[in-house]
Amino acid sequence: MSSRDPSSKKVIFQNLDTKLQSHTFSESPEEESLQVGLILAIVAWGIGKPDGQGRLLEILKRRGVVYADFIEQVRVATQAGKQEYTFLLDLFSNSVKSLSLSEVQNNIDTYLNEVRPYLEDFLKKEDPLDFWTPREGPYSDFLRSLKLPASAGGKFDGPDMILHDLGAFKNDPGSRALIDKLFLPRAQLEAMNTLLLNTSGSGKTRTMLEGLCLYWGLYLTCEVDSEMRGSQDLQVTLKRIADDPCFEARPPPASQGLRPYTQNSKIACARFREVLVARLIIMVFFCTVAKEILPAGLDSHCRKLWVYLQARPSCLGHVHHDIFHNLTKKIVGMEENDALDMMSLSIAQLKGMLEEELSDHPLHCVVDEAQVASTSLDGAFITSSTSSSQSRPVLRDLIMVLGDEAAELSLNLTGTAIDRVTVEEILFSPLLKDRLPRTVTHLGAFDTAKEQTAYIRQFLPGNLACEPRFNILFERVSYWLKGRYRFTAAYVKCLLLAGFQRPHKLLNEFICSSTRFQIPGEAAGLWSAGFRPSDCAEQLAEEEGDAVAHQLMDFQFDKLKKDSTLLDSIRESVAQFLLRSKINPQLVGGYNSSLIASGFARYAQNDAGDSKEHKISFDEPLAVLALTEWLEIYDVPLAQSLRARAASSQTEGDGSNALEEQLAVYLSVVFDDKTPLTKIFNFHSKIPPPYWATRPAELVSLFTRGETISEERVGNKIRPSLNIGTKLSSPLEELCEWLDHKNRAPICFPDKMMGPDLLFILRLNDAKRSLIWVAIQSKFQNLNGSTLPALLAHTLRKAMVSVTPGQFFGERKTSEKDEKIQDNAMEENSVGKQETEKQSKNTRKTHGKATGKGEKDEARRERHRQKIREKQQTVWDRLDSLSRRLYTPITEVDAAKAREEVRRHLEISKEAMEQDEEDEEDEEDEEDEEDEENRAIFSPAARSVLEGAGQHSLLRVIASKPAETQLHERLLIVDQHYFDEGSHPIVELNQIHFEETMERLHRSIGRHTPGTRKPKRPAEEDAESAPSTKKLKLDSGDFASRASRYTWDEDTAGVSSEMGLSREEVVSHASVPPSSAFTTMDD
């Protein structure tokens, strides 16, 4: 009969129940525990008899057992299938409520005698930690020579990157200065309590361990991490506090008395004392044995071994896998006075053995992951005053035991989501009034390519590190894994596990796996798609086979749902960061704790010092991309957010508007190398468009990599840059950087002084894969409440001027607000404040009628013109730098034909132009002879650079919202001079295509929440693949396609009918054919 057979279990249970009913207690506590521990566990839950619980409780009370604790632990153990009597014996022994001093001492002596042989072997080893064993491959010998510590899960699970080369910080001046800042000497005892805050993976644990390699101390952690670093003694104790039968998890209001709260605090302090006593006793034991075994005694090597033992207790062997937790269990229930006496005795013994070391520095005590204690047992503790009745965390009791009762300890608390003010109040409490708290947040990061590359190189063979593909890898890692240390260390671990094979594919997989998340409530484990970089097409083509990367679990999405105010700020910040590469200043402030806790932001260097506000940084590519992925599925998608802003006519302080941002999203999707440009832009009907207008094109990012310029395509879910666009804060310096391809962002939002609103590059699908520049000017018609049905002629003329290369940085009529923007931009470009004011004043003078101020000063005016000429020439040089790659589609013959068409069309449309001018008579009064003069000054210079064979082509685009009928026809009527620009045709954005695409994005990348429309699984998708009369499901490849699919419904059909378009015609306007839609957008 199998032991798994229920009938078999019932027989066993009945036999054990009979033994239980007739059981008499043995004189031997161990034998009694052995029998009762096994019998009670099985009887209580195996039979479930009504009198089973009562009989169990009676026996437990007679033995002084913590009933609730034992019941819970046995329940969990039996559910996990652990019914071995040795395991239950351990649980039962751990539940003894009170022990005499003699029993405590006997338990300690017995256990230490058992452990001594294992500790001696540990101290004698040349390498106390097991080394990771790599799989056989071309570089396995080199990997073994690195002697990387194995993870606690086993030597084949990978190396432990935190414990590798532990103690190396002392050789780096910057790292050593940080450690000395955190581990203060006795001379600064008035500020010996330190709170170290930052996000997960920022280096807190490694920094604390490095400090303990320099100064003697204890390492405790409130939560053991996934690689089993640290003892579980404190973690288990935090969970056991509530199991005490006298503990009240939900006590009545403090107005009814403080007794329950006082009792809770007493129980918590008793448990924490047991942890501290066990740790100090083992430290004394360790030092005693080390003095006998090690020739050099208690030197720096011995101190490092003590750190290894605390960080990896399992290094003593399987039998004693956690020496600290095992001893803590054996002294549970000791009296308070006995615990305090043992604590004082142990500290005195340590001061005697470490007299020289502890004379300058106190015994340091590190409490890692303190945020766990700051949120545990919420509501069970309050401040001592009944008047305030404020809830407080159990962390206060832990600090009281470590910082007050053990007065010789200097506390170093680390954590993420800790309320800094609350903890500082605890550390500044009357009982700890002589120890002023300090808060430190910045630990450094991989913010420069030099430091990051140096870290990676130490793990590579010399020949690999010098290969071009790895030089490119270093550049990619410095871009994508910028920020906290764990991002880079985790990728290096994947690289080591892969034996350095397929490094670029591995990096892509690592980024993809780290930016996706599991959909809650999905039994099949459905995951979002993640993000894939496209900045290494050539390298990926050279790497054969697949790469597998482990997921980085640093981001906690659930925390975001609890704070709607924070979510609003995040939503806006992500959009601004992706589209304009700038940070929302609202993120710096009261909500930073939640951002730090969830892993999406970090504390960065604050040049103002610790006395100032701690600086939060939201600029890490992995964090931003992961957050973007989550927002697209569970919150308001980017396209929807921008549509809402556009509807409300929101503008930024620099004059930009949501239409520009919508255009950036649109551009990142629509240029798929399949859709002809004539579907995206409206070319003039009276002038034959260039032949390339019928060519498809794709948006590309050009960026410098070494001595070459890389061209990489841009899509919705795949691009070579974190940001879709970049907003330039200075008129010239940053613009030149983008034009020189030193900025990966494919779309540029130039300074308003230049002219265009957006600049980008398209790659034509022709034999030469030619490149053309595109400059867009967007006009938001309903801005500031305007209800004009069409753009005024002078507005169109200015729009045309703004995208004409010969007029970049030209003098144009500006409003007073724009003049201030220009003044600020000049000041940013190192023009002295006084000189800027003179130039601004001079500019207003030159505008006579527009400003009505001052008289013309020809000398100053000429200097101002010279500065503009210099800016123009600089920009023209950059634009011309790609002349050998950029195609000039309009020949002189074509240009002559175009000019003839313009003249003929102007004659036909003369009456329309005159009527248009009458409508804008007041506006035209602002035009004067200076415009013509400026054209005469700058146009020849521009044409000398921009015209001629072999020069580049620039497509000028006017975008208007709402859509204006036949806007592209009016452009020619308004101004022949600026319409006729040779190789720079001017077109209108196809507003129908634009609106349809944005609507599709709005619908398809909508929010997904449990209980609403769920992503389809593959089987369901196959069943729905056929078109129906109501819905047309488009092809999809991954979860992003499944969660982000385009659906034609009755509403869409209705809108299409009102436009006079059939479904087929609307589909023909889409960015991709139905058969491949969203495969391109999400690839």
Residues 311 and 267 in one domain: yes
> Is residue 1 in a domain?
no
Query: Which position has the token pair 């993976």?
Result: 201
Question: What is the distance between the alpha carbons of residues 522 and 535, in angstroms, rounded to a whole number?
Answer: 33
Give the pLDDT mean for 625-654. 66
Angle 335-340-345 from CA coordinates, rounded to 5°: 125
Specify the 3-state DSSP secondary structure of 592: helix
Give the pLDDT mean for 995-1015. 55
pLDDT at res. 429: 57
Contact 964, 788 (CB under 8 A): no
Per-residue pLDDT band at 31 (split at 50, 70, 90): very low
Residue 1039's domain comprises: 1008-1082
Whether 34 has a pLDDT exceeding 60, the answer reads no
Give the pLDDT mean for 586-609. 67
> Is residue 325 in a domain?
yes
Residues 628 and 723 in one domain: no
In DSSP notation, 236-285 reads: HHHHHGGGSTT--SSPPPGGG-SHHHHHHHHHHHHHHHHHHHHHHHHHHH
Name the β-bridge partners of 440.
Answer: 196
Residues 525 and 572 in one domain: no
Phi-psi bin for 1012: left (phi > 0), alpha (psi -120 to 50), beta?
A: beta
Measured from the Cβ of residue 581, the count of other Cβ atoms closer than 10 Å reads 21
Give the pLDDT mean for 676-681. 91
Q: What is the mean pLDDT of the chain?
A: 71
- Window from 63-77, 203-217, 562-576, 831-845 with minimum mean pLDDT: 831-845
C-alpha pair distances (Å), 498 with each of 137, 158, 546, 849, 998? 9, 10, 11, 71, 42
Most confident of 145-149, 358-362, 539-543: 145-149
Question: What is the distance between the alpha carbons of residues 436 and 423, in angstroms, rounded to a whole number?
Answer: 12
pLDDT in tens, 429-478: 555 555 567 888 888 899 899 999 999 999 999 899 999 999 999 999 99
pLDDT in tens, 101-117: 898 999 999 999 999 99
Whether 524 has a pLDDT exceeding 80, the answer reads no
- Window from 469-473, 665-669, 947-951 with minimum mean pLDDT: 947-951
pLDDT at res. 365: 95
pLDDT at res. 990: 87
CA dihedral (704, 706, 709, 715) positive or negative: negative
- Window from 20-29, 307-316, 743-752 with minimum mean pLDDT: 20-29
Cα-Cα-Cα-Cα torsion 591, 596, 601, 602, nearest 10 degrees, comes to 120
Contact 984, 955 (CB under 8 A): yes
Residues 176 and 231 in one domain: yes
DSSP-based helix, strand, coil % in the chain, nearest 5? 55, 10, 35
Contact 509, 498 (CB under 8 A): no
- Window from 242-246, 300-304, 480-484, 1064-1068 with minimum mean pLDDT: 1064-1068
The more confident residue out of 486 and 604 is 486
Residues 907 and 1051 in one domain: no
Phi-psi bin for 1070: left (phi > 0), alpha (psi -120 to 50), beta?
A: beta
Most confident of 156-160, 435-439, 582-586, 1046-1050: 156-160
Token digits for 481? 């894994």
The more confident residue out of 864 and 951 is 864
> Is residue 551 in a domain?
no
Residues 647 and 584 in one domain: no
Whether 152 has a pLDDT exceeding 70, the answer reads yes
pLDDT at res. 491: 96
Per-residue pLDDT band at 525 (split at 50, 70, 90): low
Residues 678 and 784 in one domain: yes
How much of the chain exceeds pLDDT 70, in percent?
59
Per-residue pLDDT band at 644 (split at 50, 70, 90): low
Question: What is the distance between the alpha carbons of residues 187 and 362, in angstroms, rounded to a whole number?
Answer: 10
Q: What are phi and psi of 566, to 5 degrees?
A: -65, -40
Question: What is the distance between the alpha carbons of residues 433 and 427, in angstroms, rounded to a whole number?
Answer: 8
Whether 810 has a pLDDT exceeding 50, the answer reads yes
Contact 300, 213 (CB under 8 A): yes
DSSP code, position 431: G
pLDDT at res. 354: 94
- Window from 29-43, 117-131, 379-393, 469-483 with minimum mean pLDDT: 29-43
C-alpha pair distances (Å), 255 with each of 379, 382, 383, 390, 716? 14, 12, 13, 12, 59
Contact 721, 861 (CB under 8 A): no
Could you give the number of structural domains in the chain? 7
Cα-Cα-Cα-Cα torsion 931, 932, 937, 938, nearest 10 degrees, comes to 70
> Is residue 412 in a domain?
yes
- Window from 434-438, 777-781, 1034-1038 with minimum mean pLDDT: 1034-1038
The residue among 390, 421, 440 that closes a domain is 440
Residues 905 and 873 in one domain: yes
> Is residue 547 in a domain?
no
pLDDT at res. 345: 94
The more confident residue out of 131 and 1005 is 131
> Is residue 472 in a domain?
yes
Question: What is the distance between the alpha carbons of residues 582 and 368, in angstroms, rounded to a whole number?
Answer: 34
Cis peptide bond N-terminal to 313, omega within 30: no
Whether 923 has a pLDDT exceeding 80, the answer reads no
Residues 752 and 844 in one domain: yes
The residue among 511, 542, 573 that closes a domain is 542
Give the pLDDT mean for 785-801. 64
- Window from 271-285, 766-780, 904-918, 953-967 with minimum mean pLDDT: 904-918
pLDDT in tens, 551-587: 777 788 777 777 777 777 787 778 878 888 776 554 5
Phi-psi bin for 48: left (phi > 0), alpha (psi -120 to 50), beta?
A: left
> Is residue 548 in a domain?
no
Question: What is the distance between the alpha carbons of residues 512 and 281, in angstroms, rounded to a whole number?
Answer: 47
Give the pLDDT mean for 731-749. 84
DSSP code, position 507: H
Question: What is the distance between the alpha carbons of residues 350 and 364, in angstroms, rounded to a whole number?
Answer: 12
Q: What are phi and psi of 364, to 5 degrees?
A: -85, 145
pLDDT at res. 972: 52
Contact 520, 1012 (CB under 8 A): no
pLDDT at res. 641: 64
pLDDT at res. 1008: 38
pLDDT at res. 559: 74
The more confident residue out of 938 and 634 is 634
The more confident residue out of 901 and 1068 is 901
**Residues recorded for the chain:** 1083
25 Cβ contact partners less than 8 Å away, ≥ 6 residues apart? 32, 62
Token digits for 576? 């601004």
Q: What are phi and psi of 199, to 5 degrees?
A: -75, 170
Residues 594 and 630 in one domain: yes
CA end-to-end span of the chain: 56
pLDDT at res. 376: 84
C-alpha pair distances (Å), 807 with each of 32, 756, 937? 96, 10, 10
Query: Which position has the token pair 């999809």?
Result: 1036
CA dihedral (513, 519, 520, 526) positive or negative: negative
pLDDT in tens, 240-267: 888 777 788 888 887 777 888 888 889 9
> Is residue 1000 in a domain?
no
Token digits for 289? 């044995």
pLDDT at res. 1037: 30
Residues 894 and 798 in one domain: yes
pLDDT at res. 451: 93
Whether 851 has a pLDDT exceeding 50, the answer reads no
The more confident residue out of 807 and 30 is 807
The residue among 517, 542, 567 that closes a domain is 542
Nearest to 198 by CA among 618, 587, 599: 599
Query: Which position has the token pair 């209980």?
Result: 1011
pLDDT at res. 995: 85
Specify the 3-state DSSP secondary structure of 984: coil
Residues 321 and 356 in one domain: yes
Give the pLDDT mean for 893-915. 47
